[in-house]
Amino acid sequence: MTITAAADGSALGNPGPAGWAWYVDDNSWAAGGWKHATNNQGELQAVLELFRATKHIDDDLLVLCDSQYVINCVTKWMRGWKAKGWRKADGKPVMNVEILKEIDVEIVGRTYRFEWVKGHANHPLNEAADVRARGAAESFQRGAPVRSGPGYTGTGPATTRPTIPPAPHKDAHTFTQDGLFSLDDAELGDAHETIGDQQLGSESTVGGALRSVSERRSVTLTLSAEDYSRLSQRARVRGVSIEDCLRGLIGSS
C-alpha cells in the first residue's frame, strides 16, 4: 500500500515566523515551526518530519509538494551535493544543509516518490497542509501555543477528506462592524498590505478593499470567494470567529 501525504511550509515575511506541516487525513497530521525561518526551511522540515513519522511503516510513501525546490533537492541535487562535501558546483555551501543532511539519513531504505501539485489551487491535501503550516507560523508570530497535531496514527492512505470549509457560493463577502479596528486612513492602507502580502500569502492577494466609513472605528472589508474561504480556514485553525481572526491579523502587524 501507499501512504499519500502533503507537505508544506509557510513563513510570514520570509524570513519571519515560520511553520511546517504534513497531512494525511484529519486523524494523521503534524505541524510545528520557529520564531524565525524561511519558507524553504518550512517546506524541507515538513518533508523531514513526514519521513520521521512514518519510518516504522513498511508502506511506500507518496509526498505531494508544491515546492519544486524541495522536490529537486531530494530527488536530483542532494546526491551530487553530498559527493562534493555538501557544496554546490561553484564551491559555495549548500543552503539549508542541516535539514538536508537529516532528510538524507531518513530516506535510506525507504520507497518513496514526490509529486508536484500547484499551491493554492484547491487540492484538498495540499490546502489542509497549508492551513496547518500557516497556522503554526501565526501562532509563533503571536507567541501562542501551536496545534501540533496527533502525528501519524494510520496504517495506510487517507480514508477521510480534510475538514476544509468549501468555497462560498457568492462571488464576494463583505463585513462591516463598528469598532472592528481602531486605525486612521494611513494605517488602514498599511493593514491592507499586511493582510495581502503576509497573512494570506503573496499568491493570494485580498480581492477587495479596506476603506473607512462614516466613523473612524468602522471599516468594510470585501473579499473574493477564494480569499473568504482561505480566511475561514485560518479562523477555524485558530478556533476563533472570522472577525476575531481579522482583529488578530491587524493587531500583529
pLDDT per residue of the chain (253 residues) written in tens, 0 to 9:
899 999 999 999 999 999 999 999 999 999 999 999 999 999 999 999 999 999 999 999 999 999 999 999 999 999 999 999 999 999 999 999 999 999 999 999 999 999 999 999 999 999 999 999 999 999 999 999 999 999 999 844 444 445 443 433 333 343 333 333 333 333 333 333 233 333 333 333 333 333 333 344 555 666 766 677 677 777 776 666 777 677 666 655 4
Torsion of CA 10, 204, 175, 211, to 10 degrees: 110
- The predicted structure's pLDDT at residue 44: 98
- Please give the single-letter amino acid code of residue 237: V
Strand segments (E) across the chain: 2-11, 16-25, 28-37, 60-65, 112-116, 172-178, 210-212, 218-224
The catalytic residue among 8, 25, 49, 106 is: 8
Per the residue annotation, which of 9, 16, 33, 201 is the catalytic one? 9
Give the pLDDT score at 215.
Answer: 40
CATH classification of 2-142, choosing from 1.20.1250.20, 3.30.420.10, 3.40.1000.10, 3.30.56.10? 3.30.420.10
**For the chain, domain boundaries:** 2-142, 172-251
- Candidate list 13, 120, 187, 197, residue with the active-site label: 120
pLDDT at 234: 74
- The one catalytic residue among 25, 43, 138, 227: 43
43 is annotated as an active-site residue: yes
Q: Check if 9 is active-site.
A: yes
Catalytic, out of 49, 66, 106, 227: 66
Q: Residue 206's pLDDT is what?
A: 33
Instruction: Tell me if residue 207 is catalytic.
Output: no
Q: Which of 25, 49, 130, 138 is catalytic?
A: 130
Give the pTM.
0.64
120 in catalytic set = yes
- Measured from the Cβ of residue 196, the count of other Cβ atoms closer than 10 Å reads 18
What nine digits make up the cell of 150?
A: 496527533
Is 178 marked active-site? Answer: no
Alpha helices in 37-184 (DSSP H): 39-53, 68-72, 78-83, 97-106, 124-142
Q: Judge contact between 213 and 198, C-beta under 8 A.
A: no
